Amino acid sequence: MTTSRQRPSRAPILVTAVGFAIAITLILFALRGFPAPQPTIDRAGSADAPRDVSVIMRDYLFQPDPLRLIAGERVRFTILNGGLEPHEFVLGDDEVQRAWEAADAAATPPLPLTTAPPASVPPGTGGVRVLLASGGQASAVFDVPVTGDLFLMCHVPGHVEAGMVGEVRLVSADATSAPAG
């Protein structure tokens, strides 16, 4: 007399795994719709006491967005690359952006697996530029101009095209109760 043993079904394990994957996907999708809260500006930065501003670079975006700065203040940026790729923080007017775009294009390796030359712009170009590897962090002090437009971009090849452009809003010192970057 032979008895046949039935193997336990793997269906409950499969259903549980698929259900877990769906739940995680829905949670991550829902969290994308909630932007980081905008901090408030409590004071304008000065030469003696720069205002601290934190910026996180993620894959193809900057946070906070928009970045709010007070015209004429001095800020100390703490910049963190929270993305998986290297990213660049370039803050400045149109001339600064064009200079770093050209410098990064010239420093792009001509062939795969070749070493790129370092990117540089002429002294006195202005603005601020920080290039960070994934997980990197750096600080930079910047004097916000009183007039003119500022732009925030990542000129690593392909990143501007992928949307890594942040909005910069210059606000007056009396508008410091508004949310800020």
Of the pLDDT bands very low, low, confident and very high (cuts 50, 70, 90), residue 113 is confident
Position 35 in a domain: no
Position 33 in a domain: no
Position 118 in a domain: yes
Position 3 in a domain: no
Q: pTM of the full predicted structure?
A: 0.72
Position 87 in a domain: yes
pLDDT digits (tens, 9 = 90+) for 22-80: 888 777 766 665 555 666 788 888 889 999 999 999 999 999 989 999 999 999 999 99
Backbone angles phi, psi at 36, to 5 degrees: -65, 145
Q: Please count the other Cβ atoms lying within 10 Å of the Cβ belonging to residue 74.
A: 17
Position 113 in a domain: yes
Position 181 in a domain: no
pLDDT digits (tens, 9 = 90+) for 136-168: 999 999 999 998 899 999 998 889 999 999 999
CATH number at residue 72: 2.60.40.420
Burial 123-148 (b: 16+ CB within 10 A, else e): eebebbbbbbeeeeeeeeebebbeee
* Element at 28 (helix H, strand E): helix 11-31
Strand-pairing partners, residue 116, are none
Position 131 in a domain: yes
Query: Which domain covers residue 166, as residue numbers?
Result: 51-175
Number of domains in the chain: 1
The amino acid sitting at 155 is H
Q: Which residues contact 100 (CB under 8 A, 6 or more apart)?
A: 88, 90, 92, 119, 121, 127, 129, 153, 155
Could you tell me if 134 and 81 are in contact, meaning their C-beta atoms sit under 8 angstroms apart? Answer: yes
